[in-house]
Amino acid sequence: MTTAPSTYRVPLPETLVELLGKRVVDLPAAELDRGLLREEASGAYDRVRAESPEAQIVVRRCRDLLNDPEGDGFAVIEVGPLLDRYGLDEGQQIATLLLSWLGRPLRAFDKWPLWKPLGTNLTIDPMRATGSGYNPLHIDVVNATEPPDYSALLCVRPDPRGEGYSIVSQLRRAVDRLSDGERAFLAEPVFRDGAFYDLTGVGKEYDPFPVLDGLLAPEGFVRFTAKMLPDMDPREPHTSAVRALERELIAEQQKFLLGFGDLIIVNQHLCVHGREALGRGQDEVPEEQRRLLWQMFLRTAGADAR
């Protein structure tokens, strides 16, 4: 069993865990306005950061890991001690507060709560986020004009069968390794992925979209998802270019398990994510014991630079 390397891990100092527990009881609930955390709440959460030098160190470290264009574009905050100490409900509230220091919490999916539970469903397509199979490398809400800037997953219950490795890979370096011809095909707006409905805060549907929009992070995206490949014509040069990019991403991917309380944040401008298959025999594991993650998004564009 391998968790994320310590280079990417951000532990929370014990005194900060204590402070967060004390402050959270008086903070406003995480109510939303047009899918984003209300200003009143984010202002109150930010005052907790402002009073704690340790919180500021945690934020700086996360920002360095997430935003360095030469870096890998992800970080794992260890919130297990918060969940252990304050329980899942209060722990979730504190996790929202922590994430609000990095960007504005964004729900995106109108029909779900701010934290979308991603359990393990054996009756749906195994490659989906809540499936049990290989979930290939992708960015979330790829077919939007404004995909979420960051995507966060909090592991509430790891796979009891010990698998379901998270995979991440740096997009920009993979694109740099392609040929000019492949990049030219990927810059054409001919790519499509799935449906687009009941979404707020991610702009408009982008259909068809280019994989390469010609912009660097933090503005641009590499709109990559390997999930579109099965529906593409294998004889087409655009398909070959997507496959070449997937090969480069897989060649350099990092793979690790999320433990209980691991909160992974991925900068979608720099990094793709996915999941390897869960362990065998999921049908023998009762549903309430199967792997469970909570998902939330963050909007950083236009957020005050601190």
Question: Which residues contact Fe ion by CB under 5 A?
Answer: 140
- Measured between alpha carbons, how far is 203 from 214 in angstroms, rounded to an integer? 18
Residue with Cβ nearer Fe ion (17 or 249): 249
Q: Smallest gap, in angstroms, from Cβ of residue 270 to Fe ion?
A: 15
Residue 29 is classified by DSSP as: P
Q: Smallest gap, in angstroms, from Cβ of residue 295 to Fe ion?
A: 8
Cα dihedral value 184, 214, 224, 155, nearest 10: 160
Q: Smallest gap, in angstroms, from Cβ of residue 179 to Fe ion?
A: 28
CB 249 within 8 A of CB 183: no
CB 60 within 8 A of CB 53: no
Query: For residue 154, what is the enclosing H or E element?
Result: strand 150-157
Minimal CB distance residue for Fe ion: 140
Q: Smallest gap, in angstroms, from Cβ of residue 278 to Fe ion?
A: 15
In the numeric block, the tokens 């401008």 are attached to 269
What are the structure tokens assigned to 154, written together? Answer: 């909090």
What are the structure tokens assigned to 269, written together? Answer: 């401008």
Q: Smallest gap, in angstroms, from Cβ of residue 202 to Fe ion?
A: 14
- Measured between alpha carbons, how far is 131 from 146 in angstroms, rounded to an integer? 26
- Measured between alpha carbons, how far is 116 from 108 in angstroms, rounded to an integer? 10
Residue with Cβ nearer Fe ion (152 or 175): 152
Residue with Cβ nearer Fe ion (58 or 139): 139
Q: Smallest gap, in angstroms, from Cβ of residue 289 to Fe ion?
A: 23
What residues have CB less than 8 Å from 129, skipping those under 6 apart? 118, 135, 275, 295
Residue with Cβ nearer Fe ion (84 or 112): 112
Residue with Cβ nearer Fe ion (41 or 137): 137
